[in-house]
Structure 1
């Protein structure tokens, strides 16, 4: 078992977090997912990370140290797997299961095409702070507004500078954004509901994220993140997505489950037309 805290390279080891509405600085779940990917890559240096699935049980405070405990379940010649326990103050906050392997030549290959949406030049810039990242969203001006109504989907262009050359760091960076827009994509289909209400009148939280990497994972320029919410109800939403390069290569696929629940017992926070 390996215990790791600073698993990102120098200059990249600080957590990204946002206020949860109560004044606490809470770490993004996908930050933990990304760091777990790097931790396993350090433990299995002769393998490629192929997929990771995280379950977030408790929030993580961005101002306190976090332990990543890597437990290798299997380490074979071609395949390997590991579980990562994310702990803070002695309590387990998240679990991440990671699959790694040694890629082999294709027997067959196909991939889903890049969605035919407006390019980054026509998309709307969005301020979502992270040093070295530029974000633009297709067709939506204010991601958080309850007045932004449309299909339960979002398309976001991202550009990173610099782009990591190490495969595990590149995959961690791809994984980091997979949880950021899924709740917004779900809420977009319901008039009067938006993420500006999160932690105020509606309780939201990412509960699981799973990401699969499709080798090779390398790119230049912009990445397109596609989000499609296929179901929401009983307090949970489900979103699936893909990550394409601007030239059309499919780098990764992902899914997310998130909690969307009223903060009040009488459900009055959610407009009647948006309820099931």
Structure 2
């Protein structure tokens, strides 16, 4: 048992969810050739690590493995859930190291068991030959949107503002399958890859809620209680620099829900309208079938 576990066992308060704790979990540390580790987070109310955190761990590891290139794309399949109460290992295999692009395989394990695996594309930047971008949606500015922070999503040092109050746990409130969310952190991390990690962490937050939104009688408040939900795959492309201490917008739209799955497409914009990232998330929405001794979520 680590120090955090000893504190929890002694009845001391668990580590709070705040910006510093997110960075502590995602700023993985070298632990040998091609291996990086992340510490546990003791005392979590629900002992399942978010998919976005695992993907962010791999992004940071790749950025440290090849420091003269930046992560341009990262894709990961989430095969098994990881718990907060134990450390996480990220093993990298640089399958191609080039001057323009490099390819890195990432395997994320806990207790020597694979939890997720993916591919990361690294690249060397170049001057623009041509440039164009998809325009930012016409949405209210952050100061025109009410703060959002239900108990299960509060992170001290992170502000969330959901356009039109669309993230609603009332199963009778319906709307289009989309969520537009302004986000800002209190402080700017020192390294650019940590800005990317904090942005990546929330990429997987919005798909399930957006997918359930058009369907009366269902909401994300039912997740892990009467319906089984999870993220099975996420792909993020990193286009431009982001400063997470300034407002940025997640524009998440679900394009398909059915056969126990859901698929969303999203874009991340800086407040000045620059497209800094785009993403695709594949999720699971199924009836919850509890089995003795099994977790309520496979993915």
Q: TM-score, normalised by structure 1?
A: 0.87
- Looking at structure 1, the residues matched to 66 and 279 of structure 2 have their Cα atoms a distance apart, in angstroms, of 23
1:83 aligns with 2:108: no
More strand by proportion, 1 or 2? Answer: 1
Q: Are the structure 2 counterparts of residues 50 and 142 from structure 1 closer, same or farther at C-alpha, using a change threshold of 3 Å?
A: closer
Aligned residue number for residue 187 of structure 2: 162
Among 139, 146, 149, the alignment partner of 1:124 is 146
**Which shows bigger deviation, 236-245 or 145-154?**
145-154
Aligned residue number for residue 5 of structure 1: 37
Cα shift at 1:143: 2.9
Listed one character per residue, the Cα deviations across residues 111-148 of structure 1 (whole Å, up to 9, x for unaligned) are: 01111011212223221222321111011265322123
Pairwise CA RMSD: 1.9
Confirm or deny: 8 A CA contact 1:54 1:210 kept in the other structure: yes
Confirm or deny: 8 A CA contact 1:243 1:251 kept in the other structure: yes
1:33 aligns with 2:55: yes
Aligned residue number for residue 191 of structure 1: 216
Q: TM-score, normalised by structure 2?
A: 0.81
* Structure 2: gaps spanning 5 or more residues: 1-32, 291-299
Cα shift at 1:18: 5.8
- Looking at structure 2, the residues matched to 188 and 18 of structure 1 have their Cα atoms a distance apart, in angstroms, of 27
Secondary structure, counterpart of 2:48 in structure 1 = strand
Secondary structure, counterpart of 2:143 in structure 1 = coil
Q: Are the structure 2 counterparts of residues 76 and 17 from structure 1 closer, same or farther at C-alpha, using a change threshold of 3 Å?
A: farther
Confirm or deny: 8 A CA contact 1:51 1:98 kept in the other structure: yes
Aligned residue number for residue 94 of structure 1: 116
Aligned residue number for residue 73 of structure 1: 95
Among 158, 162, 168, the alignment partner of 1:137 is 162
Cα shift at 1:164: 2.2
Q: Are the structure 2 counterparts of residues 70 and 204 from structure 1 closer, same or farther at C-alpha, using a change threshold of 3 Å?
A: same
Confirm or deny: 8 A CA contact 1:16 1:28 kept in the other structure: no
* Structure 1: gaps spanning 5 or more residues: 7-12, 266-276
Q: Are the structure 2 counterparts of residues 89 and 186 from structure 1 closer, same or farther at C-alpha, using a change threshold of 3 Å?
A: same
Aligned residue number for residue 105 of structure 1: 127
- Count how many residue pairs are aligned between Structure 1 and Structure 2: 255
Cα shift at 1:96: 2.4
Aligned residue number for residue 229 of structure 2: 204
Cα shift at 1:216: 3.3
